[in-house]
Structure 1
């Protein structure tokens, strides 16, 4: 009997060498395509420059029998050598990725190196230049992290480096509702409804009074089915109180779970490693 699966890692998480799952934000297909277009346009400009030089100054300096070889060397330099060098020296960056706020990292979240950059550049000649990006787009559209073929072969993906700041925490339970908070039951509220409530409360100050009151009334009517007893206050104050009670209780539950795990850690370390075969 094999060991059971103890940890599940979601498609948007990275499992480090210490078996720690990190929640990351891969760059989406649209952002990746935008960054790739910028890089490809720069490459095309260099290719045009190569052909202009090949038909002009280079044709006068280099012998005709060596001109074709020189153009091939320049093409390899532009499509493989320069992208590899730029990505290696900048740890997964390029002009296009700088513009969209992304960088190439390994599958475990570490910085990519020369090997990954070389594989990506080499495969990119086929999937980006030879097929006009069709293979790259199709592959990225059907992979969880929008990975193109070069990423799959190199074991990399594009990670966002510009993430939105976390919203400010909501205020605590209003003092007038402290007694209600001691007996309120908000555990049955669905997570989707709780997210909508939090989003509304974070932008409540930016809404017009009429729209704010209307949405607050609708949300309070929807949450009342999962809150017992209902808070004795106006809709806005009631929603702030409901969100604060739910947040505080979830936080205490998480802290209690972490404390129990720390208490069990010494006992787990004394257990024999692995599972006996049946």
Structure 2
């Protein structure tokens, strides 16, 4: 099991997918890729022979087929299924971000390119690099996972919906009037981390770190901090408002 801190500052524990289950999913996907390659080659051969194409067309067809099979298949399947190729679906695996959220095209593309170039094929020694990097990683991450900021977890159910942070009722009105466009993702991540670790901090550390974050957040908001409230109330109100806007 590994603990993930979601974008809503909620801790989730999900089981990490290790090499045996990932290898099974990979082999199933490989069979599908071989079938896709055979279909593309068969169709292209018929068309090129009928057109009496020259060698350049055959070379282009080979490159397009290779890119489609090795890159387009994993990228498209993981993008449209939010982290589950056919093989991963069969073995109950899912690719998630480091905060346990669903991946998007950017993550899938990074994993797909790294898989084709580094982890498995061109430089990967038919998967040797992926196996070695997974064994050396606490969360069994291959190179593509490290570059994309993703982890493969073992779950046969939908990811749990994280509970939203709740603004203190006495600060909800103040937070509703804020323009949060000046709060960067990095600053919001620092607030989430502070709220997540709050119970593990000493009272002095809570106040010191919280005050620094409140100053930074209110500077970004160009709004004075409400007086008479502990830092975690103010930060919780800002984070809750940001989540509310993000979810529409």
Report the TM-score when normalising by structure 2. Answer: 0.59
Residue 160 of structure 2 corresponds to residue 154 of structure 1: no
Match of 1:273 among 192, 211, 227: 211
Alignment partner, residue 118 of structure 1:
109
- Matches of 1:134 and 1:24, distance apart in 2: 26
RMSD: 2.7
Corresponding residue number in structure 1 for 2:80: 89
The aligned residue for residue 220 of structure 2 is none
Q: Which ranges of structure 2 fall in alignment gaps of 5 or more residues?
A: 158-198, 214-248
Residue 25 of structure 1 deviates from its aligned partner by 0.9
Q: Which residue of 2 aligns with 1:37?
A: 27
The question of 1:24 aligning with 2:14 is answered yes
Larger radius of gyration: 1
How many residue pairs get aligned? The number is: 164
Stretch of structure 1 that moved more, 64-73 or 144-153: 64-73
Q: How does 1:1-278 map to 2 (within 5 A)?
A: 12-61=2-51, 63-64=53-54, 65-126=56-117, 127-130=119-122, 131-162=125-156, 273-274=211-212
Q: Distance in 2 between matches of 1:117 and 1:271?
A: 36
> Which blocks of at least 5 consecutive residues in structure 1 are unaligned?
1-10, 164-260
Q: Is the CA contact (8 Å cut-off) linking 1:92 and 1:111 kept in structure 2?
A: yes
After TM superposition, the score normalised by the length of structure 1 is 0.53
Residues 41 and 65, structure 2, Cα contact 8 Å, conserved in 1: no
CA deviations over 1:99-151 (Å, ceiling 9, x no partner)? 10011110110000000001111111122233211111111111112111111
Greater RCO structure (CA 8 Å; 6+ sep): 2
Residue 257 of structure 1 corresponds to which residue in structure 2?
none
- Go from structure 1 to structure 2 and tell me whether the alpha carbon gap of 1:89 and 1:62 turns closer, same or farther (over 3 Å shift): farther
- Matched residue of 2:132: which SS? helix
> Where does residue 249 of structure 1 map in the other structure?
none
Cα distance, 1:119–1:104 mapped onto 2, change above 3 Å: same
